[in-house]
């Protein structure tokens, strides 16, 4: 989120301080392979019509792409329309970090230094901490994800580079996703002509679903490359960050009653918001099988920062409609493990490239 959410600062600060003062291990996950290969995509037309009717009531623009991974069902609304990412672009930074850890070019425990002048406004708490402060790469990425810390995001961008993240985006085959610059800092290179329109980053609902699906499937490396022994641990680290998302008023709102501090959550997500933008992309471990839901709302008339913001409520209602159609029995937190119980396709590292 780009908004400070100062009313929650004390709670977030306590959570982060507890996190920084304790060491946590990386959980190992079972293989959970159940199918020989992912099914072909097929439109769920009845559900899509209901979603279109619901989205038509929104005072703003809605872009949506969702897929139920085992059945191959999909629904889409303006899914290929380029939109502002707000903080959802941080998923691409996380994915770049995962690949660099896999390649031995980065380590979760490597040290990064928060220096005087690094702090930026918006979401997060690092800007309030005394400097210099030393954190691990895992600490930095965790705060970038769970409280969408903008200062932590800039530390991660300094570590990997804007160009490296965009090269990874192109490596994924994405055509309309781009990270432009650090948050709250002047650009250090010429900006593309469309940067003023999109701000921090641009994407589409479909393309950001691809990024989240690769994380969930634990699909690392190039197609045809063998899975490595450490892949599951890398993906588990990322999923642990995402399932502890602090902002839960959008996709999780009606799907799960757990607080993010409780164990067993079946939803791993990354949110993003600006005054007229509210976005959420999530893996939802439904009891009938995992799904990925990617919803972006832009040009929203309701620019408030309350729990009942119209766009946040719309995202929650759309997600509930998808859940009731694809997994009416609810969420299964136990199945939110690397691979999501989906077998890798033949000829790929850990899943199907799209």
Query: How sure is the predictor about 174, in pLDDT bands with cuts at 50, 70 and 90?
Result: very high
pLDDT at 343: 60
Mean pLDDT of 162-185: 97
Assign 3-class secondary structure to the chain.
CCCCCHHHHHHHHHHHHHHHCCCCCCCCCCCCCCCCCCCCCEECHHHHHHHHHHHCCCCCEEEEEEEECCCCEEEEECCCCCEECHHHHHHHHHHHHHHHHHCCCCCCCCEEEECCCCCCCCCCCHHHCCCCEEEEHHHHHHHHHHCCCHHHHHHHHHHHCHHHHHHHHHHCCCCCCEECCCCCCCCCCCCCCCHHHHCCEEECHHHHHHHHHHHHHCCCCCCCCCCCCCHHHHHHHHHHHHHCCCCCCCCCCCCCCCCCCCCCCCEEEEEEEECCEEEEEEEEEECCEEEEEEEEEECCCCCCCCCCCHHHHHHHHHHHHHHHHHCCCCECHHHCCCCCCCCCCCCCCCCCCC
pLDDT at 261: 61
Q: What percent of the chain has pLDDT over 90?
A: 77
Q: What percent of the chain has pLDDT over 70?
A: 84
- Tens of pLDDT, residue by residue over 115-170, are 999 999 888 899 999 999 999 999 999 999 999 999 999 999 999 999 999 999 99
pTM: 0.87
- Tens of pLDDT, residue by residue over 276-308, are 999 999 999 999 999 999 999 999 999 999 999
- Whether the predicted pLDDT of 9 surpasses 50: no
- Tens of pLDDT, residue by residue over 307-352, are 999 999 999 999 999 999 999 999 998 889 999 987 654 444 443 3
pLDDT at 221: 94
pLDDT at 197: 96
Structural domains of the chain sorted by starting position, each given as residue range(s) with its CATH number in brackets: 33-81+245-348 (3.40.710.10), 83-203 (3.40.710.10)
- Tens of pLDDT, residue by residue over 71-127, are 999 999 999 999 999 999 999 999 999 999 999 999 999 999 999 999 998 888 999
């Amino acid at each position: 989120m780009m908004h400070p959410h100062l009313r929650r600062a004390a709670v977030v600060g306590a959570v982060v301080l507890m996190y920084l003062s304790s060491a946590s291990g990386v959980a190992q996950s079972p293989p959970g392979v159940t199918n020989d290969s992912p099914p072909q995509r097929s439109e769920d037309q009845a559900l899509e019509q209901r979603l279109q009717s619901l989205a038509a009531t929104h005072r703003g623009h809605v872009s949506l792409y969702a897929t139920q991974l085992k059945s191959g069902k999909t629904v889409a609304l303006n899914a290929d329309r380029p939109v502002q990412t707000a903080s959802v672009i941080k998923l691409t930074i996380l994915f770049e970090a995962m690949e660099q850890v896999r390649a031995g070019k980065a380590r979760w425990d490597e040290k990064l230094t928060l220096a005087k002048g690094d702090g930026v406004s918006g979401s997060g708490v690092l800007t309030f901490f005394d400097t210099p402060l030393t954190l691990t790469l895992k600490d930095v990425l965790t705060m970038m994800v769970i409280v969408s810390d903008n200062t932590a995001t800039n530390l991660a961008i300094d570590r990997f580079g804007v160009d490296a993240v965009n090269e990874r985006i192109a490596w994924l085959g994405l055509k309309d996703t781009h990270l432009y610059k650090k948050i709250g800092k002047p650009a250090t290179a010429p900006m593309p002509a469309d940067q003023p329109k999109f701000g921090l980053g641009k994407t589409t609902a479909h393309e950001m679903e691809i990024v989240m699906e690769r994380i969930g499937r634990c699909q690392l490396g190039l197609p045809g490359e063998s899975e490595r022994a450490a892949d599951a641990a890398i993906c588990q680290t990322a999923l642990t960050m995402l399932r502890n998302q602090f902002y839960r008023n959008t996709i999780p709102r009606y799907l799960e009653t757990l607080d993010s501090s409780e164990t067993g959550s079946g939803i791993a997500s990354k949110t993003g918001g600006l005054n007229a933008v509210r976005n959420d992309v999530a893996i939802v471990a439904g009891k009938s099988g995992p799904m990925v839901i990617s919803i972006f709302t832009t040009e929203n008339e309701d620019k408030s920062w309350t729990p009942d913001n119209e766009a946040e409520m719309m995202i929650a209602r759309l997600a509930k409609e998808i859940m009731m159609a694809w997994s009416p029995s609810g969420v299964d937190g136990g199945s939110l493990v690397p691979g999501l119980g989906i077998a890798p396709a033949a000829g790929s590292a850990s899943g199907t490239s799209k």
